[in-house]
Amino acid sequence: MAAYASHEQTRFGRVLRDWRSDRRLSQLELGLMANVSARHISFLETGRAQPSREMVLMLARSLDLPMREQNLLLLAAGFAGQYRESALDAPALEQTRRALKFMLDQHEPWPALVLDGRWQVVMRNDAAARLLALLMPDGAPPPDTPLDMLQFMTTPGLLSALVENWEEVMVESVVRLRRERDAGAAHPDVDAFLEQVEADPAYREVVAHSRGMAAAPLVPVVFRTPQGPLPFFSTIATFGTPQDVTLQELKIECFYPADPATEAAARRLFSAA
């Protein structure tokens, strides 16, 4: 055992301690989960012991860290990351892109989106593109342009102009994003968004209503259209067994008409000509 902790050990110990505190675990509880003694956990946190790569991964799994944070914990201990982070357009994710496109296409004529860890829309089906063109005839982004949903929600007057129940949508969004942050799965842009919303007096009621709420399985959203309000609800799905940081952070949001009248109207508006 080294007499003095290295920079990597000190950094690892601090990160480990922060995660253990965030998960509300004692050193004894984490030790039992990782099959080591509380004394060893203490030594790791203070830099008196250096973890092996296997120990870092065991601790990361015990703390239920997402892949991005597991990689960062490994880096803090002086090891290379365990999981790759591929660009969505990388050759390695070609099959994933085909699968995502198939899912989006099968959801027609209802809108569907794929969002990345920054809550940017990176894929959308034709129905979603037509919905955006209907809502924003003078400023709809091209189909191949990412749409920054965090910026979309915080641009003054934009969400309220396009969505009748914008406060309810904002509350549900804040709840979901806060849950991502608390789980350690949030992109830094999500942290910045939450800080902005929580500090802005315009969102005081939204933040207050979101406190202590659980994420709803279905999110209602009523779009304002030239043909009148169209009520939908949306669901969000994620990959169950991803082996890539990018895949773990992807979310697939599918919209469904909330009543027969909306279904009929949406079929007329969003079906391909």
Q: Which long-range contacts (CB under 8 A, 24 or more apart) does 28-33 make?
A: 30/59, 30/62, 30/63, 33/62
Give the type of residue at 263.
E
Tell me what pLDDT residue 141 has.
67
pLDDT in tens, 53-97: 999 999 999 999 989 899 999 999 999 999 988 888 899 899 999
How confident is the model over 120-168, as pLDDT tens digits? 999 999 999 888 888 876 766 666 677 888 888 888 888 888 999 999 9
Nearest Cα to Cα of residue 122 among 247, 260, 18: 247
User: Mean pLDDT, to the nearest integer, of 214-220?
Assistant: 79
Question: Could you tell me the pTM of the whole model?
Answer: 0.79
Spatial neighbors of 184 by CB under 8 A, at least 6 apart, are: 19, 22, 65, 66, 69
Per-residue pLDDT tens digits for 236-253: 888 877 788 888 889 999
- Select from 136, 140, 139, 119 the least CA-distant residue to 224: 136
Average per-residue pLDDT in the chain?
Answer: 87
- Taking only Cα atoms into account, the Rg of the chain, rounded to an integer number of angstroms, comes to 22
Element (H, E) at 245: helix 245-249
Domains of the chain with CATH codes: 7-76 (1.10.260.40), 91-270 (3.30.450)
| 272 has pLDDT over 50 | yes
| 3-state SS class at 132 | helix
